[in-house]
Amino acid sequence: ANDIEQVVFLNTRGIQAFGSIGEKFSFYSDFRESQGRFPGYLTDFIAENRIVPGRGLVKRHQDYPNAWDFSRATGHITYQPNEFFNFQLGHGQNFFGEGYRSMLLSDAAFPNPYLRIRTKFWNIEYVNLFTQMSDVQDKVTDSVIPKFVTSHYLSWNATEKFNISLFETVVYQDSTGTRGYDFNYLNPIIFFRPLEFALGSAGGNVLIGLNASYKIRQKNVVYAQLILDEFRFREFLEFNGWWGNKLGFQVGFKGYDFLIDGLKVQSEFNWARPYLYSHKISLQSYTHFNQPLAHPLGGNFAESVTRVSYNRKRIFAEAELMYAVQGLDTLSSNWGSNPFLSYDTREQEINNEVGQGIRATTIYAEARFGYVINPAYNLRLEAGMSYRRFSPEQEIDGIEKSNTLYFHIGLATRLLNNYSDF
């Protein structure tokens, strides 16, 4: 079905404050309150999940049909006692990687409380990230159940051009949602996989990953990521499609002043096997506020995304093209795309492959151009268009073909990443 013609809008107002106290303390805070009416596919997502992607819980707007009212607040306090340590306590988002997406941890989901400790010495940077996430289990009363995520990220500049980083994270809660903070995961240097083995599968959902990048000359970078949720090498060598080999990867390239001054090009490929980021206990899935914590598509997909931007003084132009193939679940089946579903409800043990289930393709294209009025706040007068085509091979359980095309013009302060390309 095509979207019904209607005016879409986003009206946001807010306040921002930041500063420093002496040489070692700094702070930042902002609050945004918004009303909006969105294209059809986003409206369906909001109605189903009770959240605007990346911007939290919503309520129906009283004056406009199919419109929503929502707000978002972030902030942090930073303490840097010396050149080696940096402590930040806040409510916001974190991102690991060089890509537009991240298969490890991205900023696509709603902000969350966190404590981040950065340690730098020699060619090493080590990050401890202690966070609290939330699951919106009851979509009628908007009640949320807290869960905890602890992450480590060890980054090594092996040479001036080559960087390699190790990542590990654990999500823990129990099926009742009453488990508190587990001090087993407070140790800043522990490896989680042996601890998870000792505590059992109920102890937590552990993922490990790898990030690597290499500079070609000064302004071009090739990069890659690998994420492992569960993995058995023996099953992998048999190529039998065992469900438990839950892994994903990313490869990409980005160039600044590519061919001409002011031109930035970024292109990457992301791939995830079925059931990636899911867990036996659904509250231990790698998710937050009804969205995945890494790639917004969840699992069971292959995606290509390319973004190009050009800036000349204060004039800019930007374009994006995304193409994705994903195998979707139905109301009575679990083929591995939805990380909120327990993997105990999987359809089969072997012969699992990317695209299984209801195979669907998504094409998303966007272009915008305009003029930067205030570079300090990226205040821009802009116009553009967006196109999305969603094509499932079978229409069932609310999975329907759709085409979305809309044009926009407005005054925007673009300080945050808001992802609608999924």
Indicate the pTM of the whole model. Answer: 0.92
* Greater pLDDT, 95 or 199: 95
- pLDDT reported for residue 227: 97
Tally of residues, the chain: 422
139-194 pLDDT tens trace: 555 678 899 999 999 999 999 999 999 999 999 887 777 777 777 777 777 666 65
Per-residue pLDDT band for 200 (boundaries 50, 70, 90) equals low
Query: Does residue 138 carry a pLDDT above 70?
Result: no
β-bridge pairing 124-138 and 112-121: antiparallel
Whole-angstrom CA distances from 81 to 78, 185, 353 are 10, 25, 50
238-271 pLDDT tens trace: 889 999 999 999 999 999 999 899 999 999 999 9
Query: Does residue 1 carry a pLDDT above 50?
Result: no
Query: Does residue 198 carry a pLDDT above 60?
Result: no
306-319 pLDDT tens trace: 999 999 999 999 99
Question: Do 240 and 232 touch, CB atoms closer than 8 A?
Answer: no
4-33 pLDDT tens trace: 567 888 888 889 899 999 899 999 999 999
- pLDDT reported for residue 398: 86
Share of the chain above pLDDT 90, in %: 68
Whole-angstrom CA distances from 22 to 80, 81, 83, 84, 182 are 11, 11, 16, 18, 35
Residue pointed to by tokens 């061919």: 259
What is the rounded end-to-end Cα distance, in angstroms, of the chain?
Answer: 18
**Alpha-carbon Rg of the chain, whole angstroms?**
22
33-89 pLDDT tens trace: 989 899 889 988 988 888 889 888 888 887 777 889 989 999 999 999 999 999 999
Question: Do 387 and 372 touch, CB atoms closer than 8 A?
Answer: no
Tokens found for residue 363: 């094409």
- How confident is the prediction for the chain on average, in pLDDT? 90
* Greater pLDDT, 63 or 277: 277
Query: What's the rounded Cα separation, in Å, for the pair 193 and 317?
Result: 46
Residue pointed to by tokens 């902002």: 30
Span 107-135, average pLDDT: 95
370-395 pLDDT tens trace: 999 998 888 899 999 999 999 999 99
Residue pointed to by tokens 């890494």: 294
413 CB-contact burial (10 Å; exposed 0-12 / middle 13-18 / buried 19+): middle
Strand partners for 146? 134
Span 316-331, average pLDDT: 97
Tokens found for residue 299: 């699992």
* Rounded-to-10 torsion of CA 187, 191, 193, 197: -60
Question: Do 387 and 404 touch, CB atoms closer than 8 A?
Answer: yes
Query: What's the rounded Cα separation, in Å, for the pair 34 and 11?
Result: 5
